[in-house]
Structure 1
Amino acid sequence: MQEDEFYGLVQQAGHLESTDRTQAATEAVLETLGETMTGGEAGDVAEQLPTELASVIEDADHDGAGYDREEFVERVGEHLRGADLESDDAEQYADAVTDALAVALTGGELENLKSQLDSGLHPLFEGVTIDQEDV
């Protein structure tokens, strides 16, 4: 998947008006997600993403924080500060980006990723609103 395709999926799923907002939301969610993973898993996920997006996950502090859903959304909101986005919409952005990830990653890699996350984050990757046929 190409970078513009990934951003297009996020923009559509997140109902974002501009590419700049889509990029800011995507980076905030991917950075937060990267923080929840070990470096090895982050590298595995990054291998299946476009280069620019891969670097966001790879460059995050991989502390395996184990955020629950509320903490994850709060952290995304913190990463959004300074962007032209409302931190109150962090959950909407998290849903959109994880939907795009669910489509971009292979089934096995998606399961490996979910196994490193708090079970409260698993629903972010379920009920994906993006049709695989559209990719």
Structure 2
Amino acid sequence: MQDDEFYGLVQEAGHLDTTDRARTTTEAVLETLGEALTGGEAKDVAAQLPDEMAATIADADHDGAGYDRAAFVERVGEHLRDTDIEPDDAERYADAVTDALAVALTDGELRDLKAQLDDDLDPLFEGVTIDRENA
């Protein structure tokens, strides 16, 4: 998947008015996700993403944070605080980015990614409305 396709999905699902806002939102969510993963899994996910997104997730502090859904969303909001994007909508943005991520990754990689995350985060990866075979 190309970066413009990914950002388009995020922009639409997150109800964002510009690609720049979709990019900023994506960066906040991927950085948070990277914090929740071990370095090896972050590299595996990064290998299936466009370069800019890959760098964000690969360069995060991979401490395997173990965020539950509330903590994950709160952390995304913290990453958005110094931007022009409303951190109170962090859950909607997290859902939009993880849905796009679910489309971008192979099924096997998505399973591996979710295996490292708290089960409470599974619903963030649901609700993808795109035909994965044609994405």
TM category, shorter: over 0.9
- Matched with 2:106 is 106
- Matched with 1:3 is 3
* TM-aligned CA deviation for residue 133 of structure 1: 5.8
CA distance in 2, matches of 1:121, 1:103: 16
Instruction: State whether structure 2 residue 47 is matched by structure 1 residue 81.
Output: no
* 8 Å Cα contact 1:77-1:88 kept in structure 2: yes
Alignment of 1:1-135 (within 5 A): 1-132=1-132, 135=135
* 8 Å Cα contact 1:49-1:104 kept in structure 2: yes
- The runs of 4+ residues in structure 1 deviating greater than 2 Å are 129-135
* 8 Å Cα contact 1:13-1:129 kept in structure 2: no
SS in 1 for 2:11: helix
* TM-aligned CA deviation for residue 132 of structure 1: 2.8
CA distance in 2, matches of 1:133, 1:44: 21
What is the root-mean-square deviation in Å for CA atoms of aligned residues?
1.1
Question: How many pairs were matched up?
Answer: 135
Percent identical pairs in the alignment equals 75
Aligned partner of 2:105: which letter? L
Q: Spell out, residue by residue over 1:58-102, the C-alpha distance to the aligned partner (whole angstroms, 9 max, x if none).
A: 000000000000000000000001111111000000000000000
> Structure 1 stretches of 5 or more lacking a match?
none
> Structure 2 stretches of 5 or more lacking a match?
none
* TM-aligned CA deviation for residue 5 of structure 1: 1.0
SS in 2 for 1:128: coil
Q: What's the TM-score, normalizing by structure 2?
A: 0.96
